Homo-oligomer: A and B are copies of this chain.
Amino acid sequence: MNPIKHIKIKKGMMVSELVENMGDAGFGAKKINQAANILIDMYKDKDCKIFLGVAGAMVPGGMRELIVDMLDRVDVFVTTGANLTHDLIESLGHSHYQGSETDDIELNKKGIDRIYNVFMKNEVYPDLEDFFEKNWKHFQECKNIKEFLWKIGEIIGKGLLGKCYKKKIPVFCPAIADSGIGLMVWGRKVAGKNIHIDAFEDMKEIIDIAWTAKKRGVIYIGGGTPKNFIQQSLQFSKGADYGIQITTDNPSGGGSSGAPLKEGISWGKMNKEARFVDVNCDATIALPLILGYLKEKI
State the A residues within 8 Å of B (CB).
1-18, 21-22, 24-32, 55-57, 60-66, 69, 80, 82, 95-99, 101, 104-105, 107-108, 112-119, 145, 174-180, 182-183, 185-186, 189-190, 195-204, 207, 222, 224-225, 228-229, 232, 235, 247-259, 262-268, 272, 280-286, 288-289, 291-292, 295-296
- Is B225's CB under 8 angstroms from A2's CB? no
Beyond A1-B99, A3-B98, A107-B265, 7 additional contacts (C-beta under 8 Å) are A4-B118, A13-B295, A26-B96, A30-B98, A178-B229, A189-B203, A254-B282
Can you spell out 20 A-B residue pairs with CB atoms less than 8 angstroms apart? A1-B97, A3-B95, A3-B96, A4-B60, A4-B61, A6-B62, A6-B64, A7-B65, A22-B288, A29-B288, A57-B256, A61-B254, A175-B178, A178-B225, A185-B203, A186-B207, A222-B255, A224-B225, A253-B283, A253-B284
Q: How far is the CA of A4 from the CA of B235 in the complex (A)?
A: 24
In whole angstroms, how far apart are the Cα atoms of A220 and B285 in the complex? 19
Complex-state Cα separation, A263 to B118, whole angstroms: 11
**For the complex formed by this chain, how many copies does it contain in all?**
4
Q: How many Å from the CB of A39 to the closest CB on chain B?
A: 13
Whole-angstrom distance between the alpha carbons of A232 and B247 in the complex?
Answer: 24
Q: Which of B7, B60, B108, B251 contacts A266 (CB 8 A)?
A: B108
- Residues in B neighbouring A174, C-beta threshold 8 A: 174-178, 182
Q: Which chain B positions have C-beta within 8 A of A98?
A: 1-4, 24, 26, 30
Alpha-carbon distance between A229 and B81 when the two chains are bound, in angstroms: 10
Q: Return chain B residues, CB-CB under 8 Å to A18.
A: 15, 288-289, 292
Whether the pair B200, A254 counts as a contact (CB closer than 8 A) is no
Contact between A116 and B232, CB atoms less than 8 A apart: no
Q: Are B82 and A256 neighbours in the complex by a CB distance under 8 Å?
A: yes
**Max chain B Cβ within 10 angstroms of own Cβ: one of A4, A182, A247, A258:** A4
- A98–B25 alpha-carbon span in the complex (Å): 7
Contact A200 B197 (CB under 8 A): yes
In the complex formed, the residue of B with least CB distance to A114 is B266
Which residues of chain B have C-beta atoms less than 8 A from A185's C-beta?
A: 200, 203
Contact A177 B203 (CB under 8 A): yes
Known: A25-B62, A174-B178. A292 touches B13 (CB 8 A): yes
Contact A24 B175 (CB under 8 A): no
- Which of A11, A62, A229, A257 counts the most chain B CB atoms within 10 A? A62
Tell me the smallest distance from the CB of A89 to a CB of chain B, in Å.
Answer: 11
- Once A108-B266, A229-B175 are accepted as A-B contacts, the answer to whether A257 and B257 lie under 8 Å apart by CB is yes
Interface pair B63/A114, CB less than 8 Å apart: no
